[in-house]
Amino acid sequence: CRAVVISGAGKMFSSGVDLITACDIRYCTQDAVFQVKEVDVGLAADVGTLQRLPKIIGNQSLVNELAFTCRKMMADEALSSGLVSRMFPDKELMLDSALALAAEIASKSPVAVQSTKINLLYSRDHPVAEGLNYMATWNMSMLQTQDIVKSVQAMMEKKDAKSVTFSKL
């Protein structure tokens, strides 16, 4: 999993937006500013913003506006548009929350997390029927680990799932 945390102290311009659109989870502080700046320097954004941002935000008109005008997007708009999933009042709280999230994800089966990520990306770029077929094929080949058995056993024994030792990738 890739995640990014963005603090307002380091405003995100140009390649910063390119980089965050490649991340799985995006957090920011309430003073963060986002801007696709390439048009102002005579370029088209070329490291993924134009390809990923429309899928993240889901509003082609807003993406066009941001890319054509280089308008700054403030943190509250980034949150409401879906560019970031959470906004925090300060960097310390944001980092604490990001680390807690990372620990939570790390406590899960690596095979399950990686399989989920791969299937989310596949499904994003394909019709539902193709995504379902891919998932079925994926599960037929990837569910060979003992992670499911261990998880179910822990649940039956009323143990915390975090106590399970999962298979390595």
One domain, residues 95 and 134: no
Domain of residue 37: give its range. Answer: 3-105
CA angle in degrees (0–180, nearest 5) for 144-148-152: 155
The answer to whether residue 135 is domain-embedded is: yes
One domain, residues 101 and 114: no
Q: 42 is written with which tokens?
A: 């005579």
Cα–Cα nearest to 56, from 88, 29, 80? 80
Note the pTM of the prediction, 2 decimals: 0.79
Rounded Cα–Cα distance for residues 82 and 26 (Å) = 9
One domain, residues 93 and 132: no
The answer to whether residue 50 is domain-embedded is: yes
The answer to whether residue 150 is domain-embedded is: yes
Last residue of a domain, one of 68, 86, 105: 105
Q: CB within 8 A of 101, min separation 6: which ones?
A: 3, 25
One domain, residues 78 and 132: no
Run of H or E including 106: helix 91-106
- Percent of the chain at pLDDT > 90 equals 57
Last residue of a domain, one of 105, 132, 148: 105
One domain, residues 30 and 111: no
Compute the average pLDDT of residues 111-131. 93
One domain, residues 25 and 59: yes
DSSP letters along the chain, please?
A: --EEEE-TTS-EETHHHHHHHT-SEEEEETT-EEE--GGGGT----SSHHHHHHHHH--HHHHHHHHHH---EEHHHHHHHTS-SEEESSHHHHHHHHHHHHHHHHTS-HHHHHHHHHHHHHHHTS-HHHHHHHHHHHHHHHTTSSHHHHHHHHHHTT--GGG--PPP-
- pLDDT tens, 2-28? 555 555 555 554 446 778 898 999 999
Structure confidence at residue 3 (pLDDT): 52
Using the predicted structure, report yes or no on whether residue 133 has a pLDDT greater than 90.
Answer: yes
Compute the average pLDDT of residues 155-166. 81
Name the amino acid, one letter, at 63.
V
Q: Tell me the CATH number at 156.
A: 1.10.12.10
DSSP letters along 107-139, please?
A: TS-HHHHHHHHHHHHHHHTS-HHHHHHHHHHHH
Compute the average pLDDT of residues 151-167. 81
The answer to whether residue 154 is domain-embedded is: yes
One domain, residues 155 and 87: no
Structure confidence at residue 14 (pLDDT): 44
One domain, residues 97 and 54: yes
The answer to whether residue 89 is domain-embedded is: yes
Q: Tell me the CATH number at 22.
A: 3.90.226.10
One domain, residues 73 and 48: yes
Q: Into how many domains does the chain fold?
A: 2
